[in-house]
Amino acid sequence: MSDVPPLSDLLVGPVVRRALEEDLGQGGDITSRAVIPAGVRIRAEIVARSEGVVAGLHAAAATFSLVDFGLILDVATTDGSSVASGAVMAVVEGSARSILCAERTALNFLGHLSGVATATHALVSAVSGTSARICCTRKTTPGLRALEKHAVLMGGGVSHRYGLDGAILIKDNHIAVAGGVGSALEAARRVSGPVTSIEIEVDTLDQLVEALEAQVAVVLLDNMPPELLRQAVEMTDGRAVLEASGGVTPDTVHAIAQTGVDYISSGWITHSAPALDCGLDFSRGR
């Protein structure tokens, strides 16, 4: 996804810094200082141990840079690219102590975010040939939302609202407290501005009828089996954008997409995506 701009250093830097502070503590890498002489230099390759889609190179680069500005990182691929098992993702050269100090944090970012991109790509591939698009949710790792949502873009998905202030999404508990679909929508419209979108979650076809009668623009169909989703699409007949959610996995997503919904949202791609296995192999440098 080369057309997606990289994340700003203003977002990535603080996240990487917190991760390094967590790993290094107050004493730093006491093992490398004890075992590796100060002047030793190495050239190390970051290698994919399994195939997948790359994401997180920016965070990995920031990790090495924050540990030691003298480290030289040469990326061999780009975020959004597919890699085979055994492919070199990047090469880093410089102080052995510094590289070993940064290794785990850099690989944590790269493996986790590439796993998110790979999981997203799996769902995107599974719905190929339909009109449905895969989007992520707010079910992200605390502190890593910007990086994980960017990884979703690298896998070919799109992002739902970034946070609670991004749009009004009226969910089942909001409806229960507000007294119904109509009451909740009426209350939301009283306070929403001209550019604030409103989406409402429904879990029955009767609720969908209420939402359509209220002329809401976007409806979230929650935990509906494919047969109900298909009925919902027919009932809506283009009057609202439809998003399906709940139970979305690589095994179920194609059947959901075939119902004709516009979007399929998945928390799995951020909160449960398996990491892409990658490692660091090195040899003695100059």
Residues belonging to the active site: 104, 139, 171, 201, 222
Cα 78 from chain centroid (whole Å): 17
Burial call 144-168: b when 16+ CB within 10 Å, e when fewer: bbbbbbbbbbbbbbebbeeeeeebb
Q: What does the alpha-carbon distance between residue 137 and residue 182 come to, in Å, rounded to a whole number? A: 25
Paired sense of beta strands 241-245 and 218-222, if any: parallel
What DSSP string runs through 30-73? HHHHHHS-TT-EEEEEEEESS-EE---HHHHHHHHHHH-TT-EE
Radius of gyration of the chain (CA): 23
Cα-Cα-Cα-Cα dihedral sign, residues 157, 158, 159, 160: negative
